[in-house]
Structure 1
Amino acid sequence: MLDLFLSAFVTLFVVIDPPGCAPIYAGLVAGASHAQARAMALRATLIATGILLGFALFGEQLLSGLHIELASFRIAGGIMLFLIALDMVFEKRTERREQRAEKVKATPEVEDVSVFPMAMPMIAGPGSIATIMLLMSRSEGTAQTLVVLAALAAVMVLTALSLIAAGPLMKLLGARVEAVITRLLGVLLAALAAQYVIDGVKAVLR
């Protein structure tokens, strides 16, 4: 069970990328008070958790309704995660996040960033939705399902803490350290994505 928890935790942590969300959030709430920034951080995390929890619990039924086999979803999800990993290694993902944040900042009437762009698509985006559905499809029985959900809860708590401490965190880490961490996490995610594809292919061949 510990191996499953660690695997699920690392996968979700790499895809959601709390350290990568922190600088984007810090820029979005630069004009807000500390209390407002903290409230939006908690709200964004709760909304994203609700979205991911919904896909975790009912994603398999959705696939069944669309007549999509789990093996096919594992292969497709693995390819999607691999593309995200490539973006992380070559810093394209960070660039897109920053561009999205700049668009929101350029719109004066948008004040609350907790729903868009933080909750979705930055935290609960296509990659994290696909990941939680993949992890749930691999879990067998109630015990393993609860372990995966516990890993999700742990990552979301870390995400909330990262957003709340975004300003001091960025001063502590700096842009260069963040870039190195992002690249390392991208390589790790690429390996995990390849494993998902291998598992899906094995299931098809069986």
Structure 2
Amino acid sequence: MALATYALLCFGSLFSIVDPFAALPVFLALVGAQPPEAQRRTALRAAVTLLVLLLTFGLAGTLIFKFFGITLSAFKIAGGIVLFGLGLEMMRAKDSDLRSTEAERTEAETKEDVGVIPLGIPLLSGPGAIATTMVLVGKAEGPAQHAAIFMAIGAVALITFLVLRSAPVVARVLGRTGINLIGRIMGLILAALAMQFILDGIREAFPKIIG
């Protein structure tokens, strides 16, 4: 796969699964009443948490596979199934428990600092984002493509910070309908990506049966 194609795949995949626009309602519910400076600090902590977690799993992905004896093809199939379910829920404009459960959202309302939990983890960098990162790292060929996935993670984290920092303005411009529309488009992209992961995993697991 060409470097430019792989880089676009990484950015598009990660941006679709992180989907900072879907986090806007939760972000505003938790910190919307706080001063702008406090909202900016929370947005920064959430974005940094996203960056650190995905970079960690991206760097340690191969070691995790070896430690547990998991093949990349098996992880692609399992990750694809998880992402497909999340994509379907996004297309139905539903809050997925894969991102955060109702209990976690309720508990977060009593916390003073929500930037790390639940915004950074698991709302932005939940199981779906982690699985996508590890699959993409497994697909990388050579140092250039490995660098591309880490740059994509950085770009997504930066955009996430900018979106959350401007949450009141973005939410007012888009409205709930606009946010749901973006979520449905991201869900469709994510579902298609998930199916590609599953097909790639099956093809790699059974190369003699599926050419």
**Shared fold per TM-score greater than 0.5:** yes
2:123 maps to 1:122: yes
- Decide which structure has greater helix share: 1
User: Match for residue 93 of structure 1?
Assistant: 95
Following TM superposition, by how much is the alpha carbon of 1:181 offset from its aligned partner in structure 2, in angstroms? 1.4
Residue pairs, 1:51-130, within 5 angstroms: 51-93=53-95, 99=102, 100-105=104-109, 107=110, 110-130=111-131
> 4+ residue runs of structure 1 moved beyond 6 angstroms?
none
Cα distance between partner residues in 1 of 2:39 and 2:175: 20
Q: Is the CA contact 1:24–1:97 (under 8 Å) kept in the aligned structure 2?
A: no
User: Match for residue 186 of structure 1?
Assistant: 187
User: Match for residue 139 of structure 2?
Assistant: 138
SS of 1:119's partner is helix
Cα distance between partner residues in 1 of 2:169 and 2:190: 27
Residue pairs, 1:186-205, within 5 angstroms: 186-205=187-206
User: Match for residue 157 of structure 2?
Assistant: 156
Cα distance between partner residues in 2 of 1:90 and 1:30: 25
Partner AA of 1:70 in structure 2: L
Following TM superposition, by how much is the alpha carbon of 1:101 offset from its aligned partner in structure 2, in angstroms? 3.2
Cα distance between partner residues in 1 of 2:122 and 2:137: 21
Number of residue pairs matched?
A: 203
Following TM superposition, by how much is the alpha carbon of 1:98 offset from its aligned partner in structure 2, in angstroms? 8.5
How many percent of aligned residue pairs carry the same amino acid?
35
> In terms of mean alpha carbon deviation, does 29-38 or 9-18 score higher?
29-38
Cα distance between partner residues in 2 of 1:103 and 1:175: 24
The structure-2 alpha-carbon separation of the partners of 1:154 and 1:55, relative to structure 1 and needing over 3 Å to count, comes to: same
Residue pairs, 1:11-30, within 5 angstroms: 11-30=13-32
* TM-score normalised over the length of structure 2: 0.91
Cα distance between partner residues in 1 of 2:167 and 2:25: 6
* TM-score normalised over the length of structure 1: 0.93
**Superimposed CA distance per residue, residues 20-42 of structure 1 (whole angstroms, 9 cap, x where no aligned partner):** 11221122102311111101111
Cα distance between partner residues in 2 of 1:6 and 1:81: 19
Unaligned runs of 5+ residues in structure 1 are: none
SS of 1:132's partner is helix
Q: Is the CA contact 1:12–1:131 (under 8 Å) kept in the aligned structure 2?
A: yes
Q: Is the CA contact 2:86–2:96 (under 8 Å) kept in the aligned structure 1?
A: no
RMSD value over aligned CA atoms?
Answer: 1.5
Partner AA of 1:197 in structure 2: I
Following TM superposition, by how much is the alpha carbon of 1:88 offset from its aligned partner in structure 2, in angstroms? 0.5
**Superimposed CA distance per residue, residues 133-177 of structure 1 (whole angstroms, 9 cap, x where no aligned partner):** 010000011110001111111111100001100111000000011
Following TM superposition, by how much is the alpha carbon of 1:97 offset from its aligned partner in structure 2, in angstroms? 5.0
